[in-house]
Structure 1
Amino acid sequence: MTQTSAHPNHDLARELRESQLTGGLKHFIGGEWVDSQSGETFQSHTPTDNSALVTVASGDAADIDRAARAAHDAFQTWREVSGAERRNILHKIADLIEKRSQEIAVLESVDTGQAIRFMKSAAARGAENFRFYADRAPGAQDGESLPAPGFLNYSIRQPIGPVGVITPWNTPFMLSTWKIAPALAAGCTVVHKPAEWSPVTATLLAEIMDEAGLPKGVHNLVHGFGESAGKALTEHPLIKAVAFVGETVTGSHIMRQGADTLKRVHFELGGKNPVVVFDDADLDKALDAVVFMIYSLNGERCTSSSRVLIQEGIYDEFTARIAERARNIRVGDPLDPDTEVGPLVHPRHFQKVMGYFDKAREEGATIAAGGERVGGEGNYVSPTLFTGARNDMRISQEEIFGPVLTAIPFTDEADALVLANDVKYGLAGYLWTNDLTRAHRFAHGLEAGMIWVNSENVRHLPTPFGGVKNSGIGRDGGDYSFEFYMETKNIAISLGTHKTARLGVGQAPVVQKEVAEG
């Protein structure tokens, strides 16, 4: 574990904690910063040593109701704001995110344990998300011309209404912008419930949007726990749709909770994503991608390639190279620019990840690297590699969501495809081969919503993002987001040339009445 060293990031973190976190975090409802109506709070901690970080207002059904009503009232006017004006406001939000990017990155690292080297790019990506959807706001309502004999049909899109956005704790700022930006561009209003384990930067985002001139009530922020604030949000009748990023079991709860009000749902859920390495691949590049996609962001990412399937002829050599790289990864203070892996977000999650080391041994796998706690305090875990694994092991089937990689050998393409698809998840997949026809063939057969060939996860914002099977419902990205946040309406205009069938123009038939006898 790298030692904490004096760095400007620590000075900035200290200043930010004193200036922004001392007074605690409040809800932002109807354009006002407010406490919970119950007065309840909870404590958030920093994962570096699990010391208290900030006191947070704990919302419940009453606070959600107030926020939903504010969003409902604001929707009546926000829906009528022109796309050009929404574009201007969203660009101002992006400008302010860029202006405060260092502040966002530092507080995100302190709050989540993510290495500052990755949180700098996450803040920049947040600004990019707002710019991307700002430029699409003027055309968000555009539809299609669908002429037919005797009619002009055309479709338009209209915002669905107030929406609930529930975001996770792993890269909370970026993922919040990924959901909120398209909702605002579409003309929806938002009630945002961030994860209770990482509440800090949601407050910064609310401040930024307010400063940029977003009208009061268009964005509302309610902190709290899933079983109270989250449940109330998914059940509230004024909330027309819920966008959720997080764990699969929670997604199923949200679907049940929203059923009575027929809520539209969009889920980005768990993954056990395969990276398949054939023996004809560029193994140096493949190694870089495999190591990056599991050990960056502390392994706490939905799209991490947490199963590496390696052709058996290169299995021993390739796993040895992964193990060597894993042992050399710098684990330590997330504010240190040299750190590559920081602490896991919460003691509960830390214990969950640590528990898989014993499971691996019990199932007969080998811990080729890592498999232990790092340091005496905080939630630090060594980058870990399991070898000698089978696909039916729990370490191969369950989402660990940490810096933990399971390596499984395969014989040929058919074997690799069976192994890759033999999980309940289907978010992403990665394939390394120099055989072009095999690349296309394998990608078509792989049960995943997103597939990268000879690359790590490189996002292109117009493309669809989402999974199949237990990894989610719906797609983000480009106009795919508008399909969720907007309703499509068809309007048919008659050209006066069609004939309508005529009823009731003849003489009504005489109905014979029967006379009862006796």
Structure 2
Amino acid sequence: MAAPKISSLLSCSFTSSSSFSSSSAMFSSIGRNSSRRRGIFRYSTAAAVEEPINPSVNVNYTQHLINGQFVDAASGKTFETLDPRLKKRSRMILRFADLLEKHNDEIAALETWDNGKPYEQAAKVEVPLMIRLMRYHAGWADKIHGLTVPADGLHQVQTFHEPIGVAGQIIPWNFPLLMYVGSIFLYCINAQFIKTLIPSTCSGAGLPPDVLNVVSGYGPTAGAALASHLDMGKLAFTGSTVTGNSVLQLAAGSNLKPVTLELGGKSPVIVCEDANVDEAVELAHFALFFNQWQCCAACSRTFVHESIYDEFVEKAKTRALRRTIGNPFKAGIEQGPQIDSDQFEKILRYIRSGVENAGTLETGGERFGNEGFFIKPTVFSNVQDGMLIAQDEIFGPVQSILKFKDLDEVIRRANAASYGLAAGVFTQNLDTTNTLTRALRVGTVWVNCFDVFDAAIPFGGYTMSGHGREKGMYSLQNYLQVKAVIASLKNPAWL
């Protein structure tokens, strides 16, 4: 008689919800949702981090107890006892996070100097989220394991989750710190090569000298070298779709290394007829103009139901006129300069294109001030799907507002773009929410909120916006190989 077969199902779920509030006069951080009517804004960057509980106990004796007396060892030596709650990799990554936290303001200043984003954004949002990501990653170090797999026949089957090897990472100029930490997988025992500049806190955290390597350079040289290197086991790239295509070809033409891509976007925001217009205007404004719209997930196509279109346009114009622009180190500034002259001129060309193609320029459309690469917040109404400003990723402060009649129409138009990174939905109707969140072909859908990011929330795109996911448990798959080990069994007591 065959031995009884025992099978099991192991399942787990992870949820994350967090917030911190700030007055509307201060810079609004990543993750603001639609709680304005309650007088606050909510954010998701400060998710609670469980701190180790350290009882205030003094260790008074490090000696032997002999005949009721504490005495030194004959050799005079002692040995170390380690806190079993944290393994070595966890401790190193946590020390790394502690050092980043210690230098929060310095790192934020460097980030603002580098790309012009408001200092308050860097210091109060991005660096804290970077630290949150590091501490989240540290928690995975002792939780990566394989499975025992039931199989037919007299066999013991198990899987190993092994590190994929040396991983290369090419990160962009708009969020270099967050993009680096969002894909750091040292807890998987992968060594990394990074093409950009990061703070030199590695040695202080105790990382071995050969584990994390940073190479600053240009794409055609340093980036191409990483993508085509035969000893690289994995590559991650964040940037434009055109460059991502080249990276993928270089990787395929060398050693077929797997590549995760987080690329461009032309994200739609859909404002339904039952939406709270004031909240939708504020959040659509934030979703577009955040970081000078130098953000791949920016909602650069704002679809508004025809019944509230005129009201929305007028309020969106008013909000854009209130946006504070200037020196990014000045308190209360919402918008700094664009990254460089090339991007500055490119944005102005798109604005001219919008005017030439009969879009209605409601406000903005020109340089702000006489120095630097500042552009006034720009709002277009009467935008049609065929216009360049409705098709291309501008990467600048240009809001395009389009009109729609019904859900079937807006779903078709929203999905017509070649990108599929993110989308926003503003409605009070649960059925509408369910319809749109399932119909939109994007990697992330925010409902009555936008740009809510957290260490546990996966992020990535469909189609030309790339493949693979960053952050959260889904990102582990990118940096681990799965090995199946099958051993024969003789006379097992059970299967």
Q: Which of the five TM-score ranges fits, normalised by the shorter chain?
A: 0.7 to 0.9
Q: Which amino acid aligns with 1:318?
A: F
Structure 2 residue runs without a partner (length 5+): 1-84
Q: Is 1:164 aligned with 2:158?
A: no
The aligned residue for residue 441 of structure 2 is: 447
* Contact 1:83–1:185 under 8 Å retained in 2: no
Q: How does 1:289-328 map to 2 (within 5 A)?
A: 289-328=283-322
Give the alignment partner of residue 473 of structure 2, picking from 456, 476, 479: 479
Per the alignment, residue 33 of structure 1 pairs with none
User: What is the DSSP-based 3-state SS (H/G/I as helix, E as strand, rest coil) of the residue aligned with 1:287?
Assistant: helix
1:220 maps onto 2:222 in alignment: no
**Is the contact made by 2:132 and 2:455 (CA closer than 8 Å) also made in structure 1?**
no
Is the 1:277–1:309 Cα contact (8 Å) retained in structure 2? yes
CA change 1:349–1:411 in 2 (3 A) is same
Shift, 1:462, TM fit? 2.2
Query: Given residue 244 of structure 1, which amino acid in structure 2 is its aligned partner?
Result: F
Secondary structure of the 2:148 match is coil
1:87-486 residue pairs with structure 2 within 5 A? 87-120=90-123, 121-140=125-144, 142-149=145-152, 150-180=154-184, 183-194=185-196, 202-204=197-199, 207-260=200-253, 261-486=255-480
Give the Å deviation of 1:210.
Answer: 1.8
SS in 1 for 2:409: helix
Partner of 2:31: none
Structure 1, residues 38-57: CA drift from partner, whole Å, max 9, x if none?
xxxxxxxxxxxxxxxxxxxx
- Look up the match of 1:60: none
Q: Deviations over 1:468-516 (max 9, x none)?
A: 0100111112222211111111112222269xxxxxxxxxxxxxxxxxx
| Residue 386 of structure 1: how far off its partner (Å) | 1.1
Shift of 1:297: 1.0
- Off by >4 Å, runs of 4+ in structure 1: none
% identical equivalent positions = 35
Aligned partner letter, 1:319: V
Report if the CA contact (8 A) 1:83-1:139 is conserved.
Answer: no
Secondary structure (helix, strand or coil) at the match of 2:90 reads helix
8 Å contact kept, 2:282–2:319: no
The code of the aligned residue for 2:136 comes to F
Query: Retained in 2: the 8 A contact 1:463–1:477?
Result: yes
The amino acid of 1:279's aligned partner reads E
Match of residue 68 from structure 2: none
Give the Cα separation in 1 of the matches to 2:282 and 2:159. Answer: 47
**What is the match of residue 27 of structure 1?**
none
Mapped contact 1:87–1:135 kept (Cα < 8 A): yes
Over the aligned positions, Cα root-mean-square deviation in angstroms equals 1.4
Q: Distance in 2 between matches of 1:357 and 1:346?
A: 17
CA contact (8 A) 1:134 1:185 kept: yes
Q: Deviations over 1:123-149 (max 9, x none)?
A: 111111110000111112x12221123
The change in CA–CA distance for 1:203 and 1:478 in structure 2 (over 3 A counts) is: closer
* Structure 1 residues without counterparts, runs of 5 or longer: 1-81, 195-201, 499-518
Q: Distance in 2 between matches of 1:334 and 1:95?
A: 26
Task: Tell me by how many angstroms 1:172 deviates.
Answer: 1.2
Paired residue for 1:84? Answer: 87
Aligned residue identity for 1:136:
W
Distance 1:380 1:250 in 2: 26
Rounded to whole Å, the distance in 2 between the matches of 1:461 and 1:114 is 22
What letter matches 1:395 in structure 2? I
How many angstroms apart in 2 are the aligned matches of 1:283 and 1:118? 26
> Which SS does the other structure have where 2:288 is aligned?
helix
Q: In 1, Cα distance between the equivalents of 2:401 and 2:282?
A: 15
Q: Distance in 1 between matches of 2:490 and 2:281?
A: 67
Q: Give secondary structure in 1 for the equivalent of 2:87.
A: helix
After TM superposition, give the deviation of residue 83 of structure 1 in Å: 8.2
- Cα separation, 1, equivalents of 2:361 and 2:489: 73
Matches of 2:401 and 2:419, distance apart in 1? 17
One-letter code of the match for 2:174?
N
Deviation at 1:296, TM superposition (A): 1.5
Cα distance in 1 for residues equivalent to 2:420 and 2:86: 35
Residue equivalent to 2:78: none
Q: Give the whole-Å Cα distance in 2 for the aligned partners of 1:153 and 1:289.
A: 51
Structure 2 Cα separation of the partners of residues 287 and 187 of structure 1 = 45
- Contact in 2 for aligned 1:113/1:345 (Cα 8 Å): yes
CA distance in 1 between partners of 2:291 and 2:209 (Å): 34
Aligned-residue offset at 1:461: 2.4
The number of residue pairs the alignment matches comes to 405
2-structure distance, mates of 1:431, 1:151: 51
User: 2 CA distance for matches of 1:230 and 1:426?
Assistant: 25
Q: Secondary structure at the match of 1:492?
A: strand
Contact 1:161/1:240, CA 8 A, preserved across alignment = yes
**What's the CA shift for 1:241?**
1.1
Q: What is the CA–CA distance in structure 2 between the aligned matches of 1:274 and 1:267, rounded to whole Å?
A: 20
Q: CA deviation at 1:155?
A: 1.4
**Paired AA for residue 235 in structure 2:** V
* DSSP-derived class of the 2:453 partner: coil
